[in-house]
Structure 1
Amino acid sequence: MTDTPLARWERHNGVVLAVASLVFLAAYAVLVLGHGLPGAVQTLCLALALAAWAVFLVDYVARWHLSGQRWLRFIRTHWLDTLVLLLPLLRPVRIVQTYEAVQRRQNEPRLSLHARVIAYAGLSVTLLGFAASLALYQQEHAAPDADIRTYGDAVWFTCTTLSTVGYGDLAPVTPIGRLVAVGVMACGLALLGAVTGSFSSWLLQVFAREGERDAERPPGNSPGAFDGKDGQA
């Protein structure tokens, strides 16, 4: 197992980043949906969101410092981390890294690879769908001629888009709303492909093991074989 300063940092800060991600998502949800809340509550949620983003910034700078790379090279090689820092709504999706950080402390995962892929995909879809529906509702509900007027509309559009169904009954009209929709489409295709591929690989492994057991079984013990003395299986 790699024991560089950067690897140690990533192993031990996973829980902190996961908590900060949930705090940011919860604070953002209250700011978007809590129209009638007192100003003090909204100010508190804004402060919590900014504090969570500050944690993301500290983690990003620390990772750059520990990597020993030049600034531009680090940005190129860690473009996803840079994107998540600039678009913190994507940060909650990386909560799945917390499981990996905990398992790396124990040197081995408790779930098989296929189970982890399905679990990660399910958690990612839930968090991504929630974050995307919030962003869509924030951008669309007050736009002229908007189809997405309520948060329920935003959730419905996000679900149909993530599942690659796309009924077409609702559509975003704002530029940012359409950009969010494109991101949801891409993530839905990627997650669907990951789950489908993992499930297919698992089935192939099961069939391969069954074939190996059938090949190793003596002919007289194969399923459906009959005993010639009494004519019974």
Structure 2
Amino acid sequence: MSDQPAESAPLRFRRWEQRTELPLLGASLLFLLGYAVRVLAPHDAQLWRGLALVLVCATWLLFAADYVVRLRLSRLGHHFLRVHWLDTLVLLLPLLRPLRLIRVYTAVQRRREQPRLSLYARVIAYASASALLLGLSAALAVYHQEHRAEGASIRTFGDAVWWACETLTTVGYGDTVPVTPSGRTVAAGLMACGLGLLGAVTGSFSSWLLHVFRREDEKRPPEGG
């Protein structure tokens, strides 16, 4: 009987994850929407800016409540910070929540016997969706920090989107660059994430091509005779 709580804790933790991942994905999109309205709305649109701030705060409190529940259900204590470091990171930096897309996909797939997509397609789809959402988040954050800074080259949201595309694809023309410390911090994070996501896409695509060509070679009749 004394071992029952320790055995049931992981099960309750997994059940909580399965039940909350999809709602939390919706909350993440609402957070991004609220942040976008807060950043892009004109300063005289106080009503919309106020509603956006309420939405951002409400969704972040939802993330914090989910984090506390996960911490209690895991029964890992302070080790939770090390084992579930991504949960801690996205709580402190909610704009990085697109990195949790793989958790959402895993939670959905647990309800099915077999994944609908192949391994290569899953990696490419996850990395592409994560890059898109992270690029949008970084563009909003950099525009927020840069467009009023002295000597800034990122003056419009379009400039910020162009900069995010350059950074994610590692092109780096240098025509738009952050000049503030916070903007450069965002840029450094996007560079690191962009390298990882781009590498995942290109690596998976190359592996898929090799797999296809290998199958074609195996089907081809042997030469000679």
TM-score, normalised on structure 2?
0.90
SS at match of 1:105: coil
> In the alignment, residue 103 of structure 1 is paired with which amino acid?
Q
What is the Cα deviation at residue 104 of structure 1?
1.1
**What pairs with 1:79-228 in structure 2 (closer than 5 Å)?**
79-214=85-220, 217=221
Report how many residues are paired: 217
What is the Cα deviation at residue 37 of structure 1?
5.1
**Is the aligned partner of 1:23 residue 2:30?**
yes
Post-superposition Cα deviations, 1:46-68, rounded to whole Å, max 9, x if no partner, equal: 11111111111111111111111
Between 1:76-85 and 1:202-211, the stretch displaced more is 202-211
SS at match of 1:18: helix
Contact 1:21 1:95 in 2 (8 A): no
Post-superposition Cα deviations, 1:64-108, rounded to whole Å, max 9, x if no partner, equal: 1111101x2111111121111000111144245333322211132
Contact 1:96 1:124 in 2 (8 A): no
Pick one of 35, 56, 64 that aligns with 1:57.
Answer: 64
What does residue 13 of structure 2 align with?
6
Post-superposition Cα deviations, 1:9-59, rounded to whole Å, max 9, x if no partner, equal: 111111110110010000000000002453222221111111111111111
What does residue 7 of structure 2 align with?
none
Cα distance in 1 for partners of 2:198, 2:98 equals: 19
Structure 1 moving runs of 4+ over 3 Å: none
- The structure that has the greater radius of gyration is 1
Cα distance in 2 for partners of 1:126, 1:65 equals: 33
Cα distance in 2 for partners of 1:48, 1:117 equals: 32
> In the alignment, residue 120 of structure 1 is paired with which amino acid?
Y
Contact 1:22 1:92 in 2 (8 A): no
What does residue 50 of structure 2 align with?
43
Cα distance in 2 for partners of 1:89, 1:56 equals: 12
> In the alignment, residue 147 of structure 2 is paired with which amino acid?
H
Cα distance in 2 for partners of 1:90, 1:186 equals: 12
What is the root-mean-square deviation in Å for CA atoms of aligned residues?
2.0
Cα distance in 2 for partners of 1:170, 1:138 equals: 15
What does residue 231 of structure 1 align with?
none
Q: Calculate percent identity across the aligned residue pairs.
A: 58
TM-score, normalised on structure 1?
0.87
Cα distance in 2 for partners of 1:16, 1:100 equals: 14
What is the Cα deviation at residue 212 of structure 1?
2.7
Cα distance in 1 for partners of 2:79, 2:198 equals: 32
> In the alignment, residue 174 of structure 2 is paired with which amino acid?
G
What does residue 74 of structure 1 align with?
80
Cα distance in 1 for partners of 2:103, 2:83 equals: 18
